[in-house]
Amino acid sequence: MKPLQGNVALVTGSSRGIGAAIAKHFAELGASVVVHGRDTVAIEAVRSSIDRAGGKSVGVAGDVTSFALIERMRAEVESRLGPVNILVANA
């Protein structure tokens, strides 16, 4: 069993750079990962990379300063992966 198996990790600003590296590392450790950013193409690239490597991910685009987006993101993530129990505020 991988050390983060059964966990759901949300990494804001994970469509590129350090955030993408963190998201990919969490996936390697077994977590399901929420890839977040503003660029849907970049989000999909990171998400696809995670999924191709055998991980599980969901992509969410938007501005985390918007309460409406945060609530939508929470509802979508919980319905698809379960509740978030690892949060990295990278954005």
Cα 80 to Cα 91: distance, rounded to the nearest angstrom: 22
**Residue 85 near residue 78, CB atoms below 8 Å:** no
Q: Which helix (H) or strand (E) holds 72?
A: helix 67-80
Residue 13 DSSP label: T
- Domains in the chain with CATH codes: 8-88 (3.40.50.720)
Cα 57 to Cα 31: distance, rounded to the nearest angstrom: 9
What is the average per-residue pLDDT within 46-63? Answer: 96
What is the average per-residue pLDDT within 21-48? Answer: 98
Instruction: Give the predicted TM-score (pTM) of the model.
Output: 0.93
**Residue 10 near residue 35, CB atoms below 8 Å:** no
pLDDT of residue 90: 96
pLDDT value at 20 more than 90: yes
How many Cβ atoms sit within 10 Å of the Cβ of residue 19? 21
pLDDT of residue 1: 87
